[in-house]
Amino acid sequence: MNTADRQQRFATFFPQLVADIRSKSPNARVIIVGIWFYNQTVMNTLQSTAVKYGCQLVDISTLNTSSNQATAGTTVTYADGTTYAIQATWAFHPGDTGHQAIADAVINAIDM
């Protein structure tokens, strides 16, 4: 989402996706979750789409804190048993605590 072209495509196609979900499942509870890397243009698209189609929006941008980010050098073990060290360029993405915080936010939103 880091280029104007990608943001424009998202602004065009995301509402269409939600409209399609609504048309096929009009009674479904649709929850929009976003965004880790805050971007006002993208957030505007999420907010306007949520309002237009009666969806709930869970804003996770405030969860992007250093304590919720991954740590460079941490070893990740994949399902097949292979491992890989987190690279510094990935370390701003959610780590284990970040993923838990996101899950907790969604669980709270759906009132489980």
- pLDDT tens for 48-61 read 999 999 999 999 99
Q: Is the pLDDT of residue 1 over 60?
A: no
Domain hosting 43: range is 1-59
Name which of 12-16, 24-28, 50-54, 72-76 the model is least confident about. Answer: 72-76
Cβ-based burial of 34 (10 A; exposed 0-12, middle 13-18, buried ≥19): buried
3 in the same domain as 49: yes
Q: Is the pLDDT of residue 102 over 80?
A: yes
47 in the same domain as 76: no
111 in the same domain as 95: yes
Query: In sequence order, which residues have a C-beta less than 8 Å from that of residue 54 and are 6 or more positions away?
Result: 22, 30
86 in the same domain as 55: no
pLDDT for 94 equals 94
Q: pTM for the complete prediction?
A: 0.85
34 in the same domain as 46: yes
Q: Is the pLDDT of residue 65 over 90?
A: yes
